[in-house]
Every structure is written in C-alpha cells, then in structure tokens.
Amino acid sequence: MPKSIVIDIAKCTGCGYCELICSFAHHDEFNPLKARIHVNVFLEKSMAVPVVCYQCEEPWCAKACPAGALTTEVDSKGEARMIKVNRERCVGCKMCTMACPFGCIVVSEAWAEKCDLCGGTPQCVKICRSGALKFADSQTAVSAKQKIVAKRLLDSYQEG
C-alpha cells in the first residue's frame, strides 16, 4: 500500500514551518508563497488546516494535461506513489489547475508545481513538531480518520 502525507488537523498549530521547509527544499528560499503545502488558518474557529496534494490514484490533473507533462511515478524504495511534473513537457496552460478539485497544483513561472513528496522523504513531515503531518500508509490513514469521526459522533450523541 503506497504511503502519502496524512494530516491530523486537530494537531496542527498553524506554525507554518511545513510551508517554509517546502519552499526551501524546492526553491532555496524561505517563502511560504512558493510552498507546495499551504496552511489555511481560520481564526474564527481557532483552527489551522494544512492542504497538500493527495497523490490521487486517478489524478484529474494528469488527465487534463494536453502535453502529458504529469506522470505517476514510484519512489526508489517502492513506498510512495507520486504525480510528478515534467518541466520540459509542461506548456504552462493551467489545465491541471482547473482540473484539481483540491487546488493543490499551481503554475508558477512557466510550469506546473505540486507536491512530489520530496522524492519519498517529505521534508514537511520531518519538521512538523506537533505531529499533524505523518508519512504513512494510505489505508491506515483512512482507518484512523474513520475512528476519529466515529468518536466525534459518539461524543456529540452522548452530549445531546
């Protein structure tokens, strides 16, 4: 089962370190605007929600790309499946950005950019001090989310 970045929004503090290390790893500068992970802060709810590419099994971004610049690859350890951008083929048309339902791919400069899991060792996961980001088996992540949702439902039922 492929690994992916799993997000526990209950643990996210909104520190932004993940954005900084991502931009540094890919652009050699600490600029959250150039990160491939973005933390959305909702002050009224006192919550922060990181959003990063889900590395879809059937990526709409790749299907929409007329140049065939987006391909699915597996890391050298065989643990992570990722959608990668071939800069030589990308024409900057932004069809991928319109196709992604999660807004996780952008066109900056002249080509598309999205999370590539840092080649199988995501730096954002390494730097996350709160434990909100994990690099884990996708199915384990789904099971964990189901338990969290079930507990919240049970708690709200017992309160009512």
Structural domains in the chain plus CATH codes = 3-159 (3.30.70.20)
Determine the pLDDT at residue 86: 95
Could you tell me the pTM of the whole model? 0.82
Q: What is the mean pLDDT of each run of 10 residues along the chain (160 residues)?
A: 87 96 96 95 92 91 96 83 93 95 89 93 96 85 71 78
- Residue 114: both structure tokens together: 């999205």
DSSP alpha helix (H) spans, the chain? 17-27, 60-64, 95-99, 123-127, 138-159
pLDDT of residue 3: 87
- pLDDT given for residue 27 in this prediction: 95
Helices (H) and strands (E) in the chain, counts: 5, 8
